Chain A
Amino acid sequence: EPEVTQTPSHQVTQMGQEVILRCVPISNHLYFYWYRQILGQKVEFLVSFYNNEISEKSEIFDDQFSVERPDGSNFTLKIRSTKLEDSAMYFCASKQNTGELFFGEGSRLTVL
């Protein structure tokens, strides 16, 4: 069964460092998303991406965040200068058209 894959599974970084989280969505999917979850609590929307551009972003997704789909398969989330409060699980998701989101297993980011 096709799945969304995310790397790394866990990243530890120092405050102020840049982090890139990578995702490979399901191959025939058209819509891509990043969500985050702090300490197993609510799922917070960060950004959605369609047709090679951001379609929507939340207030969390400030200038420190960016997304890219550089090669038609990977979908990356970059945090330019990490803060302590960026520590969270980051989930990538994708979907084909209408219908459900498919989530990856997440990347745990720990900022020290």
Chain B
Amino acid sequence: AQSVAQPEDQVNVAEGNPLTVKCTYSVSGNPYLFWYVQYPNRGLQFLLKYITGDNLVKGSYGFEAEFNKSQTSFHLKKPSALVSDSALYFCAVSPRYNFNKFYFGSGTKLNVKP
């Protein structure tokens, strides 16, 4: 079965420290990979995507993500966290053979403490 896993419900990090939010997937056929952020009472906002090419992709607000094909992972990273980065983060995966379909992870709550 196709699935996306975000193994941590919550990640706590101090402001200024690097952050990583993990995502692994089990979706066949070199899927497209996405990260979204959701602030309280808001919709999901697109952060970045991997389609092809360089394994390190850069996105909005200083975020980047590293695609690892052998580990089927797409971890979200930021070198220096801000308190304003505190939000809910969702990983999403879309198969190339059916790009109409999206599989979402269960979300990871990022808490950045001052």
A residues sitting closer than 8 Å to B (CB atoms) are 4, 31, 33, 40-43, 45, 48, 50, 55-56, 91, 93, 97-106
Contacts and interface: CB of A to CB of B under 8 A. Distances in A.
Given A40-B38, A43-B104, A103-B43, 10 more contacts: A31-B100, A43-B90, A43-B107, A48-B101, A99-B32, A100-B49, A101-B44, A103-B44, A103-B45, A105-B42
B40 interface: yes
A35 B100 CA distance: 14
Nearest to B9: A41
A95 B100 CA distance: 9
Contacts, number: 53
A105 B102 contact: no
A55 B100 CA distance: 8
Nearest to B38: A40
Interface string B35-72: 01010111111100101000000000000000000000
A101 B46 contact: yes
In the A-B complex, list the 7 residue pairs whose CB atoms are closest, starting with the nearest: A103-B43, A103-B44, A105-B43, A42-B106, A100-B46, A43-B104, A98-B99
